[in-house]
Copies of this chain bind each other. A is one copy, B any other.
Amino acid sequence: MSAIERQFYHFAFDPASRVVRMALGEKKLDVTEIAVKYWAPTDELLKLNPSGLLPVLVENYEDGQTVVVCENRAILEHLEELPLSPRLWPVPMQERAEARRLVGWFERKFDYEVNALLLYEKMEKRLMGHGAPDINNLRAGRESLRDHLSYFESLLETRNWLAGRSMSYADFVCAAHLSVIDYFDEMNWQKYPHLKTWYMVIKSRPCFRPLLNDILPGVTAAAHYKELDF
């Protein structure tokens, strides 16, 4: 039984939403996109997900059943349980565990150590009308970003993909996060050659294209943001 209709509640520059857009694209699922300002969740969203967090996927099935799947982790696991290719958790147990560890890394570390500083100052303050960026937070966020990028670079020195031998959700999560940072011109790709090569490969996948066309009103994307060869 396959879903006859899907709605996807998301915000274009929310990294968690971007991960799922990539997964939906990779698995060739059509969705009706519904843009939500995550800092001001609508009643419609809160009814679907009482936490108010994005993204949310709603599926309507042939038998009248509706399935509401809330937030990143649940949606990725759910999509993987549907009979769709490609599979985005690696088959070997250790590599699968490694991919899930890295997905968690972004949710529990990167989000707090980088996004809460750098993206908050450069994007959220603007969206929420909270004034000009704080220079100390920007500096701390950039410093933390460098540590994270060095870590990803070290992983990719010995791996084709972030979690190991095959492309996985870990790559999507990492690319989704870095792509938003890249929009704001905060990625110094030249310093991380393995990461740059990896990003070029991900960036050229069809599922990634829609993300490159996103525009945040009032903020011009970095000059190389859309370039596949940067």
Contact = CB atoms under 8 A, between A and B. Distances in A.
B151 A108 contact: no
A229 interface: no
Contacts of A223: none
Contacts of A67: 93-94, 97
Interface in A92-111: 93-94, 96-98, 100-101, 103-105, 107-109
A50 interface: yes
Stoichiometry, copies per complex: 2
A126 interface: no
Contacts of A51: 101, 104-105, 108-109
B151 A74 contact: no
Contacts of A68: 94, 97-98
Interface of A: 49-51, 53, 65-71, 73-74, 77-78, 81, 93-94, 96-98, 100-101, 103-105, 107-109, 151
6 contacts: A70-B97, A70-B104, A74-B101, A77-B100, A81-B93, A107-B108
